Structure 1
């Protein structure tokens, strides 16, 4: 066993979770090959079932696992994280969602990143894996694959990184120095990344296919819309806070503005979609103008072609056999998936204007557990 460079406090926020999902996640966290860890299950006092399950699971591993109970009146993930942060005793704080399946060697590699790169933050990769469960699950899985395998690295090169809310590791003294997470922000992960980027903290992106944390897609279209509404609403909160305006360079501020404004652009697209359909059906325009309206199809078709290539890479990286039917589902499902995202962003914009920041939590069914056998 190598000598550890840092120790880890792993926070596992849970709310309205089943014992099966929580136990599987905890087993993989406690089964890490790193020798110096602790796990803190974070729950809310108004969720007695999950509190009881958490305490039962902690009693089975009292030397490794403790339970943090958030008693605040307002319930959301960042408030639970802040309550748990006060209980953390190790060098680095890591976050794993209730359904996260961590690779056994993950913390050993993250430890190496902290020591060798002198990092303040290490962002690991998350991968949704139940791509065959529904038409939208395939697109959702590919979206995660492209974000963690490619886009986050591009952000790192720009010096602005909107962190993910899972498999992210931050030095405890760094978190404490900025008072943890913003308890009012629904995108507390993105907000944390913005504030740490402003402070010029060293953030390292770590991706390896065999070390990704495996999770599941939302189990229904309704759940997907609620999840994306929450994310969009959180991004709108982050841009409204204006912390990003303190980034040191104009280029970083432009990248931040463009990234955080994507949800507003998506909401605008949600307004344009029905108008475009009505115009196509009832509008009568000269042929040159009609042909001009098809110009946006060129980059759209190119993007879909790129997605098809990335789907093959997704299967190769994670040991899944991608069939022709999967490619067909990806292409045919793309416009419908974009409509769902546009509707979610539009819904978020309405909530933002109404100051409705209630937490719509994503429920976990454990659909990803049947996909764990595949290996790259």
Structure 2
């Protein structure tokens, strides 16, 4: 039996399916890169890795007597000879500074040392040196020696040999990246005099020596970390009787202003007494403690320090950006609540009216492309309207018999207009051309109206200044998790926004699911444009610029079928996001224009740009920084801040649900929505940005419909209600 040759098209489809996840690749890579930068930042700022335990004094029975009675430099490098100690010759001072480099105090210490041509040793931590590599390089350039002070500053007597090796190697890695050197000098954190060596610290010193390091403690402690005053620091730092000394000071770890002030007095005073300030190896007559870092060690160090620098700069910018966006978003929430409250008082208050009640007929346009699952319920809901209407179904080249289904219904005042597939804007313009009346209602082919929807929707046209009216689009299939999330988004994110925009006079979008237009207004702006993929946003902005009022009718409810899969939701929101960007760009000149166009451009466009295009792009940072805080701290403050944002959102959502008379039970899924939905919207919006910046083109995408939303009852929604409601309405 001969096997038929495989079709080329089928292979292409298979390959296309395999490529489908690529749309998520760049957004995912950026998010992973951000997480990696935050993890690196947490690594060098970490309170998790740090160990602040300090060993209490222990017996000294295991420490050699020559160490306890010897000098401040301990050489335990030989495996065959006992450890020895070294002292600093008379009239020589080795100033040592611990815990830096600090971006504030280290430069001032270096300035003081340079002023008096003094040299010393800086025992740096890896965490600080990796964040301020330029200061390490300056130390080397100005003739100072560098010593290791571990990476995270733990008491090594508590640490395992593996952790000690890690502390040393990471510290050396940073030195290689910052200044291209390695060093043989080491000072243990929390160390003091050699006489303070005990049975806990001595094994560490031996191990450090076996790794090739000189352990440097001190024999003169300025105790500047206590901030006892400049005079006290000088007195405690001054050696007795012309003896040489290793003096302990600090250039980091807090306010070091007293240390800097003390140096300005101490350095010239001791030089006048014949002391020389030098680094350690020069004082001991030994070769330099520095050796060049080469090969892979140098490259790895440079890469690490560069990565830390990039992560510091980018995350600093992101932190500032998140703070700014956070303040703006909180201000927006407050404004939404206030203006929504005022809007509700206005439209529900006694005496409010748009003018004499309208009763003249209107035209309802239903653009439809392959809507066989939904179109019957849509048209029947319109026929049940309590307002005089004509219904025009524009079949945009459907291939599933949509037009035949409408005709087979044989319902009164329903016309079908056929056209070749040309897209939704062309279908709407064709419907406008066939409409008999001066007010045109537009809806989607998967949407159903309540009997009062059209009447509520057209009443604002009693005001001759009104050019368009936005209705209240609601999710009908909210019985799934994705549907419930979109239900929250529609009630809170869309309808609460519309109340705010209504009072501000800058409504950005008449929803395609339920909106009405004055025909004169449409004619003046050229009808529905196909310049963007968001023709509803485009025409709304055009109406604002032409001087028309665009208002919101909260009681004009329409029930639409929201996407039921992530793939379908992605396709819809991708088109919305990209189309909104196109509309903003198309109407950008409104910002500099005068009159109604300028008012919209300087109020409406910034609002839309900031809160629909920019802020959602940064929204995942809320969850990223939550993860950062949970891992690296401060955990309590991070969790409190995250829940604070959630509480504010929950308050706004609850108020929005109350205004829309919705059941609060759906808000149970709000926390999960905020975590997962944000990431999806981030991917969608970032992909839209990429498409816009690369000049890509995005075609119209038909969403798969199931027809689960039927003619609504009082509050009956979901599949069960839809199954009962998809009956002809008497």
Give the counterpart of 1:268 among 605, 613, 617. Answer: 617
SS at 2:363's partner residue?
Answer: strand
After superposition, give the CA deviation of every residue in 1:304-357 in whole Å (9 maximum; x if it has no partner).
33255247527x714x5x54xx44322223210111111111222223234222
Q: Of residues 361, 365, 368 in structure 1, which corresponds to 2:706?
A: 365
Deviation at 1:368, TM superposition (A): 2.5
Cα-to-partner distance string for 1:193-233 (whole Å, 9 max, x where unaligned)? 1111111212231112xx41112221211111111111001
Correspondence for 2:516: 169
Within 2, Cα distance between the matches of 1:197 and 1:117? 14
Count the aligned residue pairs: 356
Judge which range, 356-365 or 22-31, deviates more: 356-365
Query: Is residue 2:406 matched to residue 1:14?
Result: no
CA distance in 1, matches of 2:442, 2:616: 30
Structure with the bigger RCO (C-alpha within 8 Å, sep 6+) is 1
Structure 1's 295 and 250: CA in aligned 2 closer, same or farther, altered over 3 A? farther
1:248 Cα deviation from its structure 2 partner: 4.4
The root-mean-square deviation of aligned C-alpha atoms, in Å, is: 3.3
| 1:1-376 → structure 2 map (5 Å cutoff) | 5-18=359-372, 20-35=373-388, 37-45=389-397, 47=399, 49-57=401-409, 60-61=410-411, 64-71=413-420, 75-115=422-462, 119-131=466-478, 133-147=479-493, 149-162=495-508, 163-208=510-555, 211-241=556-586, 242=588, 244-245=590-591, 246=593, 247-249=596-598, 253-265=602-614, 268-269=617-618, 297=642, 299-306=644-651, 309-310=654-655, 313=658, 317-318=661-662, 320=663, 322-323=664-665, 326-352=666-692, 353-369=694-710, 372=713, 374=715
TM superposition score normalised by structure 2: 0.44
Change (3 A) 1:370 1:113: closer
Structure 1 position 275, deviation (Å):
7.2
Structure 2 portions without partners, runs of 5+: 1-355, 718-730
The alpha carbon displacement at 1:141 in A equals 0.7
Q: Secondary structure at the match of 1:335?
A: helix
Aligned counterpart, 2:79: none
SS at match of 2:401: helix
Structure 1 contact 142–310 (Cα < 8 Å) conserved: no
> Aligned to 1:170, what secondary structure does the other structure show?
strand
CA contact (8 A) 2:482 2:565 kept: no
> For 1:271 and 1:347, how far apart are their aligned partners in 2?
15
Task: Report deviation, 1:153.
Answer: 1.9
Higher alpha-carbon deviation: 92-101 or 235-244: 235-244
- Indicate the structure (1 or 2) with the bigger Cα radius of gyration: 2
The CA deviation at 1:250 is 5.8
Mapped contact 1:239–1:257 kept (Cα < 8 A): no
Label 1:291 to 1:204 Cα distance change in 2 as closer, same or farther (>3 A): same
Residue in 1 that maps onto 2:320: none
1:103 & 1:370 partners in 2: Cα distance?
A: 7
Asked whether the equivalents of residues 32 and 103 of structure 1 are also in contact (C-alpha less than 8 Å), the reply is yes
Which 5+ residue runs of structure 1 have no aligned equivalent?
none
Contact 1:11 1:40 (8 Å CA) reproduced? yes
Check whether the contact 2:474–2:559 (CA below 8 A) recurs between aligned residues.
yes
TM-score by length of 1: 0.82
Q: Structure 1 residue 255: deviation in Å?
A: 3.5
Q: CA separation of 1:203/1:335 partners in 2, compared to 1, >3 Å: closer, same or farther?
A: same
What SS does structure 2 have at the residue aligned with 1:86?
helix
Q: Structure 1 residues 261, 56: CA separation in 2 closer, same or farther (over 3 Å shift)?
A: farther
2:682 aligns to what SS in structure 1? helix
